Amino acid sequence: MTGFLRGSATAMITPFGKNGVNFESLKRMIAYQAEGGTDALVILGTTGEPSTMSEKERNETIEFALKCADGKIKIIVGTGSNNTESAYRMTEKAKVLGADGVLAVTPYYNKCTQNGIVGYYRALAEVGLPLIAYNVPGRTGVNILPETAERLAEIPNLAGIKEASGNMAQVMETMRRVRGKCDVYSGEDALNLPILLSGGTAVISVVSNLVPKMVKELTATAFARDLDRAIALSDALLPLASACFCEVNPIPVKAGMNLLGFDAGVPRPPLTELEPQHLALLRAELEKLGREVHA
């Protein structure tokens, strides 16, 4: 299927406090995204640290995000797992709670075959929600090859493929094979502009936690083929994107949200807080973009 997602989507962090999810802070973050023109929020994707959350916390977070969004922004829920049955149950739960769609990362660590990837997504598609396949081999050890993406595109409710392989040649070949059948989304902030200009219909961005309005404008100018403005925006965003991945995601972006005054808390173990030298780098990049940074 095509047309499910167009524009900017934010891979949301999950703010934590001493007693669990900080829902007041999450509410502020969702409002910030709405003000910035963000088209969709990805809740409990990798950036949201769902692997460290209890089932109760995950369900409450989905319900809260849906209530805050109030139908004004699409809510896409991360449901992927290296256990197909668990991913299926989570996808069912997302449907029951009212999610607009789901994002499912490829099974990780198990390192299934390409046939295994197809079987996994076919199983999740049976739930009936728009389904986004997430290809991020640097974290999972599994790569959705272009010929496999072509097979996935035949699944009726496969809405898109979030591409974070970092291989632009592969992304281009995947787009060539799936064009008109399902969409391709940028899952790598450093490649947002080239993917959009090559036919990508959306970005699912980590950086847009921090600067949603800029990322939204990048997508709009790319679609309008206002290349001078799109390139200028991309040039401005790239150093911040680099800073956001100076340590493993979401360590830097969570620190960045704290710098912006959002009380994001710290990542849950085994992730650690951002190293001081990297915090200084992140602070400097936010200030270069004119953001008011807190102590």
Catalytic center residues: 134, 162
Closest by CA to 217, choosing from 39, 69, 4, is: 39
Instruction: Write the DSSP string, the chain.
Output: ---S--EEEEE----EETTEE-HHHHHHHHHHHHHTT--EEEESSGGG-GGGS-HHHHHHHHHHHHHHHTTSSEEEEE---SSHHHHHHHHHHHHHHT-SEEEEEPP-SS---HHHHHHHHHHHHTT-S-EEEEE-HHHHS----HHHHHHHTTSTTEEEEEE-SS-HHHHHHHHHHHTTTSEEEE--GGGHHHHHHTT--EEEESGGGT-HHHHHHHHHHHHTT-HHHHHHHHHHHHHHHHHHTSSSTTHHHHHHHHHTT-----PPTTS-PPPHHHHHHHHHHHHHTT-----
